[in-house]
């Protein structure tokens, strides 16, 4: 069985470089053969990249999340270009909109999001999209500006009706540990109905820990619990579900298996 974690904030699980490497090794021992390392800001991206350069199951996204809209950093656009040229960088992100936390003003968030969509198009990379209480604006923007390589709606939190609109675009939907919660009925409906070739999974470490690990700090090695839940939901073997979601991730990120 092979698993692909499309979204893990390894630098937020532990700051120590050795501990970060141990986290990736534990993940491999739990059949997580691929991880996309996510950082909210560019300083952390370059630091984590340096820490994990010997972890051969880790790939990277480079970008500026909406949480950083008030201080994306000096020359942030050229630094994204610099990061994207590095080995095993396979996506732009995470980027998107977050109206729940009210980071800066909406116009500034939208501007930051659109600029990174343009960078993704220029660099021929997919984009990893954060959405919190901003679904309508995100879909409106993506209808006009989605990169040719498409992207992921990560840590999906909307309903099936929203998913149907998203699936009209070149988007994959990624499910995190919150799909395993009993009261997440909207997510269960979406996960049952979405075309299998548009599904991927993520840990969203250190957040969104699966129900089986409630009370613990999430990490990629717990991803199997989410895969098992989704496989059961779709009446599949966990081996078949895991392989399909793994293949989907490799296809999206243009990773040769």
- Which residues are annotated binding-site positions? 7, 9, 94, 130, 154
pLDDT in tens, 192-220: 999 999 999 999 999 999 999 999 999 99
Domain presence at residue 1: no
Number of folded domains that form the chain: 1
Measured in residues, the chain has a length of 257
Cis peptide before 197 (omega within 30 of 0): no
- In the DSSP assignment, the letter for residue 93 is E
Domain presence at residue 212: yes
Give the whole-number percent of the chain exceeding pLDDT 90.
Answer: 98
- For residues 146 and 79, what is the distance between their CA atoms, to the nearest angstrom? 21
124 phi/psi in degrees, rounded to 5:
60, 50
Give 257's pLDDT tier (boundaries 50, 70, 90). confident
Pick from 17, 26, 6: which is nearest to 217 by CA? 26
Give the mean model confidence (pLDDT) for residues 46-64: 97
- For residues 198 and 177, what is the distance between their CA atoms, to the nearest angstrom? 18
Q: Can you name the residues that pair with 175 across neighbouring β-strands?
A: 201
Q: What is the pLDDT of residue 4?
A: 98
Residue 217 and residue 206 in contact, taking contact as beta carbons nearer than 8 Å: yes
Domain presence at residue 105: yes
- The CATH number linked to 195 is 3.20.20.140
Domain presence at residue 3: no
Q: What SS3 class is residue 56?
A: coil
- Which residues are annotated binding-site positions for a divalent metal cation? 7, 9, 94, 130, 154
- Domain span at residue 241? 8-253
- In the DSSP assignment, the letter for residue 40 is S
């Amino acid at each position: 069985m092979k698993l692909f974690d499309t979204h893990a904030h390894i630098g937020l699980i532990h700051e120590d470089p050795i501990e970060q490497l141990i986290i990736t090794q534990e993940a491999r021992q739990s059949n997580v053969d691929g991880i996309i390392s996510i950082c909210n800001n560019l300083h952390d991206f370059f630091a984590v990249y340096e820490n994990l350069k010997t972890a051969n199951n880790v790939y990277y996204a480079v970008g500026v999340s909406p949480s950083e809209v008030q201080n994306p950093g000096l020359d942030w656009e050229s630094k994204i270009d610099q990061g994207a040229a590095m080995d095993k960088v396979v996506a732009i992100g995470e980027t998107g909109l977050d109206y729940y936390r009210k980071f800066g003003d909406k116009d500034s968030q939208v501007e930051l999001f659109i600029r990174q969509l343009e960078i993704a198009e220029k660099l021929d990379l997919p984009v990893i999209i954060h959405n919190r209480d901003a679904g309508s604006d995100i879909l409106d923007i993506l209808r006009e500006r989605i990169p040719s390589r498409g992207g992921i709606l990560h840590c999906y939190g909307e309903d099936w009706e929203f998913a149907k609109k998203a699936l009209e675009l070149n988007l994959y939907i990624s499910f995190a540990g919150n799909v395993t919660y009993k009261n997440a009925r909207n997510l269960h409906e979406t996960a049952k109905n979405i075309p299998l070739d548009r599904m991927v999974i993520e840990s969203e470490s250190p957040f969104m820990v699966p129900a089986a690990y409630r009370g613990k700090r999430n990490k990629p090695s717990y991803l199997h619990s989410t895969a098992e839940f989704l496989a059961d939901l779709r009446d599949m073997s966990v081996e078949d579900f895991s392989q399909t979601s793994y293949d989907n991730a490799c296809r999206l990120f243009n990773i040769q298996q």
